[in-house]
Amino acid sequence: MNASIKRSAFRPVWLVLALLFLLAGCEKIDNPFIKKGGFKDARSIMIEFAGAPDASWVSDPANFKVFQKNNPDVLLPVKQVDVGPDKKTVFLKFGEDLDLKLAHTVSMASIPSEGKDMGASFLDVKKSYFGYLFSILIGAMLINNYVFTKYLGLCVFIGTSRKKSTAVGMGVTFTIVIVISAMISWFLYQFVLKPYRLDFLQVVTFIGLVSLTVQAVDTILRKVNPALFKAFGVYLVLVIANCVIIAVPLTLASAEYNAAESFMLALGAGGGFLLALFLMASSRERLELANVPPTYRGLPIAFVATGLFALAFMGFSGMAIF
């Protein structure tokens, strides 16, 4: 498989990532006196002003009303208000954890500053949606890698990780198929199975969709791009036997992700499998030259190396991004 084939296969992925970046969310501000705002942690919101508001106004929590944007009738009581050293940064602290996945609105009474009334204001605070999508991608690729943390797909993983060229071919093929099949499965689940209460058929349906996707990719590549088919065709049948490819649609169904989030999870799962294959193939090529005891040669040492990689990937557990 040459470099040009790899670049052409991943070009649509980079285009989608660029589009998601352009659509990333940001806070909404209606008063120029407020520069920015955001979550500082699970129990506090940071607001930065263009100037220093009066200390008496800042110290009164009653001047701040906070609520979830989708539930404006329920106010979240502000427990404490702290001011930063620059006198322009204010931290609203709450007694309970905020739901950082949801957008929050901070409504402020008329803001006095240096004898002037800067007017009332409101501020929408939410996490960057691109950051959230990126966290899903990294989570599926590293933190919750389907091979090293969930121990799925080990049969194909062990069988195709003897050489790096084979590992890369299988990983790229798997990533393409998992993204296509996951998006079709998500669409079918959200618009057919779920509305008509056919959730109990999701396993059978997803298995059929995976088989149809593999066959479709095989047929299209054979006709449209024979070079790509020659490079990938050997591994297409093996993709069907990989249980990761059915685990991803089931995860999407249980997590209720939207289309963009489903795409990032599928891409992360495929990229994580590719990463696992490449790391394992690199180590097995070195092990072929190592002085391994006869009892451990072949499959036993491969499982030992897999266990060591799994232990290493446990270091990502609990890591939070954005």
Asked if residue 95 and residue 241 are part of one domain, the reply reads: no
pLDDT computed for residue 321 by the predictor: 67
Total domains, the chain: 2
Which of these three, 73, 95, 124, is where a domain ends? 124
Asked if residue 72 and residue 38 are part of one domain, the reply reads: yes
Asked if residue 182 and residue 62 are part of one domain, the reply reads: no
pLDDT computed for residue 22 by the predictor: 43
Which pair of tokens denotes residue 273?
A: 């499998």
The larger pLDDT score, comparing residue 20 to residue 15, is at 15
Which pair of tokens denotes residue 161?
A: 């990780």
pLDDT computed for residue 14 by the predictor: 52
pLDDT computed for residue 308 by the predictor: 93
pTM of the model: 0.70
Distance CA 6, CA 11 (A): 9
Report yes or no on 302 lying in a domain: yes
The larger pLDDT score, comparing residue 311 to residue 255, is at 311
Asked if residue 147 and residue 185 are part of one domain, the reply reads: yes
Mean pLDDT of the chain: 84
Percent of the chain with pLDDT over 70: 88
CB 284 within 8 A of CB 302: yes
Asked if residue 49 and residue 163 are part of one domain, the reply reads: no
Confidence of residue 320 (pLDDT cuts 50, 70, 90): low
CATH of the domain at 61: 2.60.40.1220
Asked if residue 228 and residue 135 are part of one domain, the reply reads: yes
Asked if residue 159 and residue 42 are part of one domain, the reply reads: no
Asked if residue 149 and residue 54 are part of one domain, the reply reads: no
Report yes or no on 103 lying in a domain: yes
Instruction: Using DSSP, state whether 210 is helix, strand or coil.
Output: helix
Nearest to 254 by CA among 160, 165, 175, 189: 189
Report yes or no on 25 lying in a domain: no
What is the DSSP code (8-state) at residue 41? E
pLDDT computed for residue 10 by the predictor: 47
Mean pLDDT of 159-179: 87
Confidence of residue 38 (pLDDT cuts 50, 70, 90): confident
The larger pLDDT score, comparing residue 134 to residue 225, is at 134
DSSP E strand stretches across 224-318 = none
- Range with lowest mean pLDDT among 65-79, 120-134, 257-271: 120-134
pLDDT computed for residue 100 by the predictor: 80
pLDDT above 90 for 166: no
pLDDT computed for residue 130 by the predictor: 80
Report yes or no on 26 lying in a domain: no
Domain that holds residue 267: 3-17+130-316
pLDDT computed for residue 52 by the predictor: 92
pLDDT computed for residue 26 by the predictor: 45
Asked if residue 160 and residue 13 are part of one domain, the reply reads: yes
